[in-house]
Chains A and B, each alone.
Chain A
Amino acid sequence: MLQKIRQYHFLFSELVKRDFTKKYKRTVLGMAWSILSPLMTLLIMWLVFSNFFGNSMKHYVIYLFTGQLVFAYFTDSTNLCMNALVNNASIFTKVNVPKYLFLLSQNVSSLINFGLTLILLFVFSAVDGVTFTWKFLTLLYPITCLVCFNVGMGMILSAFFVFFRDMQYLWGVVTQLLMWMSAIFYTIEGFSYKIQLLFLANPIYLYIRYFRKVILDGVIPTPQFHLLGAAYALIALALGTYVYRKYNHEFLYYV
């Protein structure tokens, strides 16, 4: 494994560079735009929903922002990663390189976006008067889980996209559905206990909730909560690895 990392380290960094250059088209605005766009979404959401929920809740902006942050990273990463194999077909049908490199390099740029937006979240929190505690450090846990979950989902989706070229549209519908199920702008307190538990079946909601518990409530979630978060990430990763292994030499017939 270590030897592999050393062997492909240079290729990986070159791929990351390429994806970056292409994504931002060598413009400063390109980079700024990727931070501005989640902020604009946040602004719109706040304008629309603060009248409904904002009055009854403290720090509603932060509540919105955490939801938006996690969900945007998820959709950004999965949508980019879906193209990882198809877009690099001209490379892996000619040169024998590990195919997951393309996927990971795509993930790096969305992860950096996520990081920048996360900093903004902390700035907003400070301005909004949220008390910072050492517990914020535990946020590394859901972030790690989320990265693994996104990589796993990206592997599955990119493989599916090779076989079925209408995946983009289907995935668009699925993310729509997930968005409504993730309680980004509303609270789930009004639902019965059973339904509230059901929300935790949605990995994205689970990670959002972790963020909110730590930042807004100042508490660290239960051990069961941690286990469930890790389980989602590991299942996605395992499925993704399985698909890549199984079809490693099949992909080239379909591109």
Chain B
Amino acid sequence: MRSVLKVSDVTIRYKYGDFRDIGLKEWTLRHLTHRYHVEHFLAVKNVSFELFEGDMLGIIGSNGAGKSTLLKAVTGVMVPTSGTIERNGRISALLELASGFDGELTVKENAYLRGAMLGYTKKFMNEAYDQIIDFAELKDFEERPFKQLSSGMQSRLAFSIASLVKPEILILDEVLSVGDGAFQEKSAAKMMEIIKSGAVTILVSHSIEQIEGLCTKVLWLNHGEAVALGDTKGICELYQSFLSGNMEALQEASNRFGPAKESLTQGE
């Protein structure tokens, strides 16, 4: 099987502190009075995994576990402090859906802009546009300013653009939980189609049912470290038990599915 995405020993050190949104004046003052602090935070520690054609990886973990940071490194928005990421295919990422759209532009203009951001060609967008609008069920809203759409409609559009175009690597961050029930079903069906067409998908979700129902393998992150990697059912059960307060589940998961012992990245 062809390896589509290989993440090797990736560590990401995040910079944070109250240095945002300050002016030169404030910056100088703080330096003079030694009050300028930049903190570093290890958001992801030595995480490795490899995905093959048709794989769908679910990433679970509590808030602040490093899920989004890891995804940002996979898409290339962030560079890992150490470790490497090999991508063999085009990435289409949906991180925080509605962001990156422009409220003042129309739905159509936004669709084209987003398509361009995802790296599609103009020709492709001209052909796919009708399909996108139909799938998003926004035919009557084409010329409306984007800000007039409900948040559900906004994410429907975002999902349609990213998924209708057969990316080789699709990254979804808390995407499926938006839209109404009918659209969720439709998008899940669409995703199954993409997975079957050989693409690799990474899904971040707080809904365990969703992960269990869709993913072929699971990565459990806890405070930036990979606790477990592999078997969907086993890990999800332990994670659920961990969430309901059973701290030992973490240790058990690490013992049974810890990255050191895993053999699943070899594929079957």
Q: Which positions in A face B, CB cutoff 8 Å?
A: 7, 10-11, 13-15, 17-18, 21-22, 90-97, 163-167, 170, 249-250, 252-255
The verdict on A94 contacting B93 (CB below 8 Å), with A14-B113, A165-B23, A254-B19 known, is yes
Interface residue from A10, A15, A90, A253 paired with B122 (Cβ < 8 Å):
A10
Q: Please, what's the 1-or-0 string for B109-146, where 1 marks a CB less than 8 Å from any CB in chain A?
A: 10011001111111001000000000000000000000
| CB atoms of A94 and B77 under 8 A apart | yes
The verdict on A14 contacting B112 (CB below 8 Å), with A95-B93, A166-B25 known, is yes
Question: Can you give 10 contacting A-B residue pairs, CB < 8 Å?
Answer: A7-B119, A18-B102, A91-B117, A93-B77, A94-B96, A164-B27, A166-B24, A167-B24, A249-B78, A254-B20
| CB atoms of B23 and A166 under 8 A apart | yes
| CB atoms of A21 and B104 under 8 A apart | yes
The 8 A-B residue pairs whose C-beta atoms are closest, nearest first, are A166-B23, A96-B76, A11-B116, A164-B24, A14-B116, A253-B15, A90-B99, A91-B100
| CB atoms of B118 and A95 under 8 A apart | yes
In the complex, the number of residue pairs spanning A and B with C-beta atoms less than 8 Å apart equals: 79
Q: How far is the CB of B89 from chain A (nearest CB, A)?
A: 14
The verdict on A95 contacting B100 (CB below 8 Å), with A165-B21, A254-B19 known, is yes
Q: Which residues of B contact A21 (CB under 8 A)?
A: 104-105, 109
Q: Which residues of B contact A92 (CB under 8 A)?
A: 77
Distance between Cα atoms of A249 and B72 in the complex (Å): 11
The verdict on A165 contacting B22 (CB below 8 Å), with A10-B121, A91-B117, A94-B96 known, is yes
- Asked if B165 CB lies within 8 Å of chain A CBs, one says no
Residue in A13, A163, A167 whose Cβ sees the most chain B Cβ within 10 Å? A163
Interface residue from A7, A10, A13, A249 paired with B79 (Cβ < 8 Å):
A249
Residue in B15, B76, B117 whose Cβ sees the most chain A Cβ within 10 Å? B117
Q: How far is the CB of B66 from chain A (nearest CB, A)?
A: 16
Q: Which residues of B contact A91 (CB under 8 A)?
A: 100, 117
Instruction: Add 4 more A-B contacts to A11-B119, A163-B27 (CB < 8 A).
Output: A10-B116, A11-B117, A14-B116, A95-B117
- Asked if B178 CB lies within 8 Å of chain A CBs, one says no
Interface residue from A90, A249, A252 paired with B100 (Cβ < 8 Å):
A90
Q: Which residues of B contact A7 (CB under 8 A)?
A: 119
Distance between Cα atoms of A17 and B110 in the complex (Å): 11
Distance between Cα atoms of A163 and B31 in the complex (Å): 14
Distance between Cα atoms of A10 and B115 in the complex (Å): 9
The verdict on A252 contacting B104 (CB below 8 Å), with A15-B113, A17-B109 known, is no
Q: Which residues of A contact B249 (CB under 8 A)?
A: none
Distance between Cα atoms of A96 and B72 in the complex (Å): 9
Q: How far is the CB of A170 from chain B (nearest CB, A)?
A: 7
Task: Specify the chain B residue showing the minimal Cβ separation from A250.
Answer: B15
Q: Which residues of A contact B96 (CB under 8 A)?
A: 94
Q: How far is the CB of B242 from chain A (nearest CB, A)?
A: 30
| CB atoms of B113 and A18 under 8 A apart | yes
Distance between Cα atoms of A254 and B25 in the complex (Å): 16
Distance between Cα atoms of A163 and B75 in the complex (Å): 24
Distance between Cα atoms of A69 and B125 in the complex (Å): 39
Task: Specify the chain A residue showing the minimal Cβ separation from B173.
Answer: A94
Distance between Cα atoms of A120 and B32 in the complex (Å): 51
